[in-house]
Every structure is written in structure tokens, then in C-alpha cells.
């Protein structure tokens, strides 16, 4: 299945080990796409390239170190990606960080760091990519919300606020640019085994009984990041052509 043959995709957060961004890069490459994989961690990007080489798809992969919280870096990085690819058909904003704390003990620095990476970073990359995406007449933005945006995840108030903001941002741009052919959608993963969820940084005295609702209803435990990557590939391809201005929860029924 080559749904992305001839299509050009920028994916942020694509160097996180065992992460959704990395899995998405592999999936879109496997379906024939040309990918710029961006991440703040150069070592992670090297791992993504090694996987692509093993998959036989590395000839369509370019990696780029990018800090999405740095406006000038984003401006230059997105421009380079568009120039490298010769345009842009889809953007996947997978970059993000997960941190936890007691809300009463959350510092402004902690709060602002989550906002800077998750919410502002998503905005900056999207803003810089929009002209190239609109030029295609069928551009797609896939943003990352979370089940924490609409369901209670204790100790994650700051993280949840960023994801709720991303969700609202996605709805707004979906309507603003619909007549220009742009689609904007969110995925809201939950109960996914990844580098991010393996160490959420819960407080040492966290009441783990409050986290009981995070078990998937389907009963096979947390799913791998490739589960989300498959959904993203659908949404970013023509199979998702009638999906915009919404979010899709991918959590095995955890919050059914």
C-alpha cells in the first residue's frame, strides 16, 4: 500500500526511542512517502535513520535537529524541510514532553516549559508550515492531543492544559483554512507504551489508586506506538479526506 507515494511529510518528535513520532516516520516511509524527521535529540534521529536503513526506506528520509520551542530554529528548520522536500503535503506535530507534579507545587518554570514545547511548539511549526501546506490545495496537519485533555489524569494538570490547547487550536485552523483545502485533525493517544509514557515522572508520593482508570478496556495491556502511527497514516492520506476539525481517541477503550 503506497498511499504516500509522491507525498512529502514533515514529522517532529521523530527521534524519540520507541516513540510515536519515530513509528510514524517508519510507517509513512513504508507507504512510499518522503519524510523529513525532526527532533531535538540527534542520537534519536540516528536511531530513526538506522531503522529506515534496515527497512530499506532510508533513501527517502532526511533527518534534522530541531528545537520546536525556539522560534528562529523553527523558522529556519521548516524552511529547510520544505526546500529539501520540494514542498509539503502533510505535517505531523508529534514532538512533546510529559511531566507530572502536584498542581499546588507546580512552579511557573515547570508550567511554562510544558507550554513552550507542547503548545507553543505546535503553533510555531504549524505557522511556518502553513504556506507550503496551503500551496498544495490538500495539505494536512495532524496534531497530538491526549486523553488527558478531556479526562482526569491526576498530577498532569499542566500537561493536560497544553493538550487541551492543541485540541482547540486544531479546531480553529481546520475552519479557518477549510476553503483552501487544508485539513487539521488531532489524535488523542492513551494507554500507549512509548518512551514518554514509560517514565511520566509521577511524584514520589503519588496515590496510584487515582490512576486505575488508565487500563485499556480491550484487555491486552498498553499498545505499541505503531498502533497510533497507523491511524496517523490514515488521517494524513487520502483515506482521511473527509476528516477535519476533530480528534480521534486511540486508547483501547480506556475512557469508553
> Would you name the residues annotated as active-site residues?
159
Cell representation of residue 244: 477535519
Q: How far apart are CA 41 and CA 7, in angstroms?
A: 25
Contacts of 38 (CB under 8 A, 6+ apart): 10, 11, 12, 13, 14, 15, 45, 63, 64, 65, 66, 68, 77, 81, 95
Buried b (16+ CB within 10 A) or exposed e, 4-28: beebbbbbbbbbbeebbbbbbbbbb
Amino acid at each position: 500500500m503506497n498511499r504516500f507515494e509522491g507525498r512529502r511529510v514533515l514529522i517532529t518528535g521523530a527521534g524519540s526511542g520507541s516513540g510515536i513520532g519515530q513509528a510514524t516516520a517508519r510507517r509513512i516511509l513504508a507507504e512510499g512517502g518522503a519524510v523529513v524527521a525532526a527532533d531535538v535529540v540527534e542520537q534519536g534521529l540516528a536511531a530513526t535513520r538506522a531503522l529506515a536503513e534496515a527497512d530499506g526506506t532510508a533513501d527517502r528520509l532526511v533527518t534534522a535537529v530541531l528545537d520546536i520551542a525556539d522560534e528562529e530554529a523553527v523558522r529556519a528548520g521548516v524552511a529547510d524541510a520544505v526546500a529539501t522536500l520540494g514542498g509539503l503535503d502533510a505535517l505531523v506535530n508529534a514532538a512533546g514532553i510529559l511531566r507530572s507534579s502536584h498542581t499546588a507545587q507546580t512552579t511557573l518554570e515547570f508550567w511554562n516549559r510544558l507550554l513552550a514545547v507542547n503548545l507553543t511548539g505546535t503553533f510555531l511549526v504549524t505557522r511556518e508550515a502553513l504556506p507550503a501546506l496551503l500551496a498544495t490545495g490538500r495539505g494536512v496537519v495532524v496534531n497530538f492531543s491526549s486523553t488527558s485533555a478531556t479526562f482526569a489524569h491526576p498530577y498532569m494538570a499542566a500537561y493536560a492544559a497544553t493538550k487541551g490547547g492543541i485540541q482547540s487550536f486544531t479546531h480553529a485552523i481546520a475552519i479557518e483554512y477549510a476553503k483552501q483545502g487544508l485539513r487539521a485533525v488531532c489524535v488523542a493517544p492513551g494507554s500507549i507504551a512509548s518512551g514518554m509514557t514509560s517514565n511520566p515522572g509521577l511524584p514520589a508520593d503519588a496515590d496510584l489508586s487515582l490512576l486505575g482508570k488508565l487500563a485499556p478496556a480491550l484487555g491486552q495491556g498498553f499498545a505499541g506506538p505503531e498502533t497510533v502511527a497507523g491511524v496517523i497514516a490514515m488521517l494524513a492520506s487520502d483515506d482521511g479526506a473527509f476528516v477535519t476539525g476533530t480528534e480521534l481517541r486511540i486508547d483501547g477503550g480506556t475512557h469508553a
